[in-house]
Structure 1
Amino acid sequence: MNAASDAPALSIAITTGEPAGVGPELTAAALREAAARWPSARFTVLGDRDLLQERAGSAGALSATFPAAQVEIEHHALAVPSRPGKLDAANGRYVLGLLDAAIDGALAGRFDAIVTAPLQKSTINDAGVPFTGHTEYLAERTNTPRVVMMLAGTGPRPLRVALATTHLPLKCVSAALTVEGIVETLQIIDHDLRAHFGLPAPRILVTGLNPHAGENGYLGREEIDVIAPALERARSLGIDAPGPYPADTLFQPRYLKDADCVLAMFHDQGLPVLKFATFGEGINVTLGLPIIRTSVDHGTALDLAGTGRADAGSLIAAIDTAVSMARHRRAG
């Protein structure tokens, strides 16, 4: 993805995530690349300034590296000092506060997009705040009844995988699938691929739920009773959504070459394939929101925090995608 010199000025917020994880140091590394790629964009980093300076590698590294007109550090103080790899529930509300500030800024029009570094769900829950994940929290905070989690690779024809259900126990997936829900999910994917990714006629391949896509009902009836009727209704609305296909054979180049996205029925049906193909360069996008949000395809990597060995490739790709999506939205 290349930056265009005449790109309109955009404002991108970046939350630094769990302070004990790799988020702060990856943010510093990714910004060096992003500032060069997108000279007309302005980046606001939300986090503890001293923590960012420390994880950037040397005192003054942030202010010395980034033009003041392009990168702003919006200081949010840690509740307690943080050490790499050592979680502390006292900082759980700090992490959530960064996300709240980014969401509020985007809803108010201050930010054109937000990019989130990884957080640790357990830290927030241990701080006494029920928290399932970024995706669910963004939906709640923006009063969005349905959002779609999509992970994607990079390149001219990236692999994209969206999910009909997200962070659910496997035993709850079947009951969570409805005709209306799948249709709404496909409508969101179709709309956002057009509006934010510049795809004029998205083709969305849809998996079944059961092995062999139910094998004509012998291995389950969800394909017959729910998924197929949903696809028929979606196609009547002008959405190109063939399926349901067996998930164990769908992820082959000969099937994916003409596809813009795959809709999988549950988290671990589609994401292992995506992460195997793109890990370290993939991104997470929340579709259906009134704001643009992208993120990395990995977690807090506590074992790598503070070592200098963490790869910023996924965060760089998330920033690139956020800028590109914001440009498409503004142009539309």
Structure 2
Amino acid sequence: MTVRPLLAVTMGEPAGIGGEIVLKAWAGRRETGVPPFFVIDDPVRLGDLAARLGLAVPVRAVAEAEDAAAVCDAALPVLPQALAAPVVPGRPDPANGPAVVASIDRAVGLARAGRAAAVVTCPIQKSALYAAGFRHPGHTEYLAHLAGMDEEPVMMLAGADLRVVPVTIHVSLRRAAESLTTAAIVHCGRVTAAALARDFGILAPRLAVAALNPHAGEGGAMGREDIEVVAPAVAALKASGIDAVGPLPADTMFHAAARARYDAALCMYHDQALIPVKTLAFDSGVNVTLGLPFVRTSPDHGTALDIAGTGRADATSLEAAMRMAGAMAAMRGRRA
């Protein structure tokens, strides 16, 4: 009998809330409907953390990913990943950076080999990884490196009522306007449309493309970027057979009636995308990396060092990321 692969969950920053939300996700798995999963982490650390937080979560080390299926109903399966230094909540130690990266490497390797259904990453603390010698801007870029991709993957933030894709991400507003290109918008649109079809079962995806400027630039009175950069991208997407509309004034794109007219919104800068999705799904938003040869999701929040170790972390976003990863992996499986 073939055992269906489980989700592989990464360690994330051990001094953050990743361990706590993993424990809580396992404890509440029957009520929240998360798919079976295992985590790549230090089982002693997780067992001690569960005891300290008063969480009734038995932790069991497994030798291989395939062993987790027989364990996950009775205990949290942990594929051991040793840490170099003791973990102090709220105080990341660069000495543990290599273990954090190794957890990601192993999860991706298992997913690419078909031994894990998908990768769900707990939040990392980039400053600690940089201090340990990590040379990638973040999770997304590192996952693309591991996949050997020539093209940039695309970040989507998704909630129950809205999916958004920022074309420019972690740059200043000035830099976002200066760096925005037609080619970048087209790339995001094509990757998004393909992923909506492959991973979400939306066979004819509809994309709404936001304008950069207020009122879509008022015919050039508020800037010509929407005429010279955004509109040509929309035309190129349409010419390639994608149902895209825009540039649309962003202030009227996100109310309920407008959202019903598209499956994902392409946004020109970080806050244009994240403010609406976090307003609608602050606790349950999911970060999805589109365009990878494996499924990867993540909770849409950071390491929350300020509350690490207190028992106050909310697992809702991780649980949503797990459910979405499971659904995406199943969709890919049906189309394989």
1:76 CA displacement:
0.6
CA distance in 1, matches of 2:57, 2:255: 45
1:44 CA displacement:
2.3
1:28 lines up with 2:31 in the alignment? no
- Conserved? CA contact 2:155–2:289, under 8 Å: yes
1:166 CA displacement:
2.1
2:64 is aligned to: none
- Conserved? CA contact 1:10–1:323, under 8 Å: no
2:157 is aligned to: 151
1:290 CA displacement:
0.8
1:48 is aligned to: 42
CA distance in 2, matches of 1:306, 1:123: 18
Give me the identity figure in percent.
Answer: 44
- Conserved? CA contact 2:36–2:69, under 8 Å: no
Deviations 1:233-256 (A, max 9, x none): 111222111011122232211211
CA distance in 1, matches of 2:246, 2:57: 52
- 1:45 maps to a residue whose letter is V
1:63 lines up with 2:59 in the alignment? yes
- Conserved? CA contact 1:28–1:62, under 8 Å: no
Q: Secondary structure at the match of 2:288?
A: strand
Deviations 1:98-155 (A, max 9, x none): 111112222222222100111111110111222322112112221221211111113x
1:25 CA displacement:
0.9
Q: Secondary structure at the match of 1:286?
A: strand
- 2:14 maps to a residue whose letter is P
1:234 lines up with 2:229 in the alignment? no
- Conserved? CA contact 2:32–2:319, under 8 Å: no
- 2:163 maps to a residue whose letter is R
When normalised by structure 2's length, the TM-score is 0.89
CA distance in 2, matches of 1:220, 1:139: 34
CA distance in 1, matches of 2:253, 2:55: 50
1:15 is aligned to: 10
- 2:20 maps to a residue whose letter is E
1:37 CA displacement:
6.2
- Conserved? CA contact 1:42–1:69, under 8 Å: no
CA distance in 2, matches of 1:131, 1:34: 33
CA distance in 1, matches of 2:77, 2:299: 21
**1:225-304 mapped onto 2 (5 Å cutoff):** 225-304=228-307
Deviations 1:211-261 (A, max 9, x none): 222221122222111111111111122211101112223221121122211
CA distance in 1, matches of 2:172, 2:114: 36
- 1:234 maps to a residue whose letter is L
Unaligned runs of 5+ in 2: 61-67
1:180 CA displacement:
2.3
- Conserved? CA contact 2:158–2:287, under 8 Å: yes
- Conserved? CA contact 1:9–1:42, under 8 Å: no
Cα pair distance change 1:141/1:225, threshold 3 Å? same
Cα pair distance change 1:258/1:220, threshold 3 Å? same
Unaligned runs of 5+ in 1: 1-7
CA distance in 2, matches of 1:85, 1:146: 32
1:201 CA displacement:
1.6
1:138 lines up with 2:134 in the alignment? no
